[in-house]
Structure 1
Amino acid sequence: MPFNEPHDLEPDTDVLVSPRYLAGPGTGDAITRTLDSAAGWKVVAFGADTYYTSPCQRVRIANTVDSRYGGWTIAYAEDPLGPSDWITTFDRNTPQEIVAAFTDTLVDGLPHHFADHLSGGKHHTGPSPAHVFASHQWEPVRAAGPFRTVSPDGHAAFRIRGGWLHEYDELLDPKNSTWHMSAGADPLSAPSWQAYFSRYTPEHLITAAATTLIAPQPVIRAAHHVPDGHRSLVKIRPVQHSDAVPRAKAARARSPRTEAVPAVQLPSSAAAPLPRAGSRRQR
């Protein structure tokens, strides 16, 4: 039975929260678990910030606590000494499961240049993020400007920026990014969290994050970590022994490597087309 007053519980009581995109950021364990154990990845702690580098030196991942957006920034450069080809930013309030879906898929596919995750590969994530949302009854927002689609409850949104913008402008400011996810009581005007994906971010990584965002399974949080502004918008109940797992084991179960991916059925009419990426820049 739902119990929507987490602050009536002891602060450290584990609760199950749905929808997951309103559950709050969590502890970050679901993200660092893969990065800390990934073969060949280097980690450097600098004060409260943490930086990861892939064995090929092409990927940099930063958890910068006091930066403008906080949270996690992932950058890829085909030339390790050159400018980034793409940048993804998850702000400090993004639920950890959504970030972990992106980083786990990135770490898993990077050694093979994502071959197993592309069309025909054994880990192919299927349709584009726009199709994932459309197939779960997300509705387009009828307004001028970028294409936006909103979740059935109205508390999560996905945006595809329209028009042309120089790719370096995207890399300099996440707000200019081609793709944007957000959630909150008002996800369009006053979101509680935001994620930004620049134009050349591999689409299967965005799709992995999208698939985890819409997954119906609740996630575990300590009661006092459920955002105050979301308490009336979520379903909450204390974790029972029958729910089987303490928080650490539950986090492992929620990892995209083990979590069942909801089946995606394409809608009868295609979602708004994704913008054409155009040719890759030459250095």
Structure 2
Amino acid sequence: MSPLDLGDLDPTTEVLVAPVHLAGPGTREAVFSVLDNAAGWTKTVAFGTDTYYASPCQRVRIANPVESHFGGWTITYAEDPLGVPDWITTFDRSTPQEIVAAFTETLVDGLPNHFRDHFSGGKHYTGLGPEDVLRRSDWQPVHGSRPYWNVSPDGRAALRTRSGWLDEYTELLTPEKSMWRLSGGIDPVHVPSWRAFFSSGTPQHLRTAAAIALTSPDALPRFLGDVPERHRDLVRVRLTKPTADMPRAQAALARRPYAAHVPAPGAEAAIPPASLAAHGRSRRQR
């Protein structure tokens, strides 16, 4: 589709968008559905919008404080329900909700037996870490970078692995200093559109679930107006169904697998960074 075609469509038009990391946050209903249907979990709604969940064992707390500066989802686990959390994972308000839902569903399913099914010998054990998942999708390491980065083929998503020792309480208090950060956007290293942080204690199989969702080839359902404007030239868009008043060319387009949203004639095409390592030498990496 050309920009003019997209501009002619109502923002409430239902579309399918790929890749995941540029599709926009989408609705939170998938995450709410996982937690609302989790047996024994309690739910509290405060201030009319902020939502909090606690697992039956009281070890896991999940918060969706809509009105806070960070927004998004904060998930903590504490072996001692009354003690300091052992790990924390945060997804900001712009993270694609399919990534949050995959992490949360895996957490909920594995919690009753303390994730034993996901450890060596368990029925869900694969031995794969998130880096393995990313490599299978042709992500590449940025050699010589500190912290250590893996970048998606299009240069629009990145995994940062922090180097050096950091006190675990610093991770708990400052998500930005967590061991791992997933991010996406036009410049996912320096100016990401969304970020997800995983402290060093976050179980590998949960981080792997997030990576699998991030690298899924499936297009995501969105309303056209929910796709970030700055991503429009970088995503592939397919209409979910033709409408009665849709021009014939657009109706034919809706039947194609995907339609690349290409820049208008004369517009400068967005080009992925040729080398994030070189780019990082001139700007401080976060």
Amino acid at match of 1:54: S
Judged with a 3 Å threshold, the aligned counterparts in structure 2 of structure 1 residues 120 and 85 are, in CA distance, closer, same or farther, namely same
* AA partner of residue 239 (structure 2): P
Between 1:50-59 and 1:119-128, the stretch displaced more is: 119-128
CA distance in 2, matches of 1:191, 1:31: 22
Amino acid at match of 2:207: I
Q: 1:119 to 1:236 in 2, by over 3 A?
A: same
Taking the TM superposition and a 5 Å limit, the aligned residue runs for 1:5-154 are 6-47=6-47, 48-154=49-155
**Shift of the alpha carbon at 1:135?**
2.0
CA distance in 1 between counterparts of 2:216 and 2:164 reads 31
Query: Of the two, which has the highest radius of gyration?
Result: 2
Q: Please give the residue correspondences for 1:148-163 in structure 2 after superposition, counting only pairs within 5 Å.
A: 148-163=149-164
Residues 72 and 91 in structure 1, CA contact (< 8 A), matched pair in contact too: yes
For residue 111 of structure 2, give the secondary structure of its aligned residue in structure 1. Answer: helix
When normalised by structure 2's length, the TM-score is 0.81
Do the aligned partners of residues 198 and 223 (structure 1) sit closer, same or farther apart at CA in structure 2, a change above 3 Å counting?
A: same
Tell whether the 8 Å contact from 1:125 to 1:207 is kept in structure 2 after alignment: no
Whole-angstrom distance in 1 between the partners of 2:110 and 2:126: 12
**Residue aligned with 2:158, SS:** strand
TM-superposed CA distance for 1:15, in Å, is 0.2
Matches within 5 A, 1:163-182: 163-182=164-183
- The 1:125/1:70 distance shift into structure 2, 3 A limit, reads farther
Measure the CA separation in 2 of the matches of 1:177 and 1:29.
Answer: 27
Tell me how far apart the structure 2 counterparts of residues 174 and 67 of structure 1 sit (CA, whole Å). 15
For the residue of structure 2 that corresponds to 1:159, the secondary structure is strand
Superposed counterparts of 1:228-247, under 5 Å:
228-240=229-241
Q: Distance in 2 between matches of 1:6 and 1:239?
A: 14
Shift of 1:126: 3.8
Deviation at 1:141, TM superposition (A): 1.4
Change in Cα spacing, 1:56 to 1:14, as seen in structure 2 (3 Å) is: same
Deviations 1:53-105 (A, max 9, x none): 00000000000112232100000000010000000000000000000000000
Say if 1:236 and 1:55 are closer, same or farther in 2 by CA, change over 3 A: same
Equivalent in the alignment of 2:255: none
Following superposition, the deviation at residue 115 of structure 1 comes to 1.4
8 Å contact from structure 1 (residues 16, 220) kept in 2: yes
Q: Distance in 1 between matches of 2:236 and 2:97?
A: 18
AA of the residue aligned to 1:9: L
TM-score normalised by structure 1 residue count: 0.82
Structure 2 CA distance for partners of 1:159 and 1:59, relative to 1, 3 Å: same
Amino acid at match of 2:12: D
The number of residues matched between the two structures is 240
Cα distance in 1 for residues equivalent to 2:230 and 2:86? 37
Which deviates more from structure 2 when the two are superposed, residues 119-128 or residues 34-43? 119-128
2 CA distance for matches of 1:71 and 1:7? 29
2:209 aligned with 1:208, yes or no? yes
Residue 6 of structure 1 contacts residue 226 of structure 1 at CA under 8 Å; is this kept in 2? no
Percent identity over the alignment?
Answer: 58
Residue aligning to 1:189: 190
Q: Which residue of 2 aligns with 1:247?
A: none
2:278 matched residue in structure 1: none
Residue aligned with 1:236, SS: strand
Deviation at 1:40, TM superposition (A): 0.4
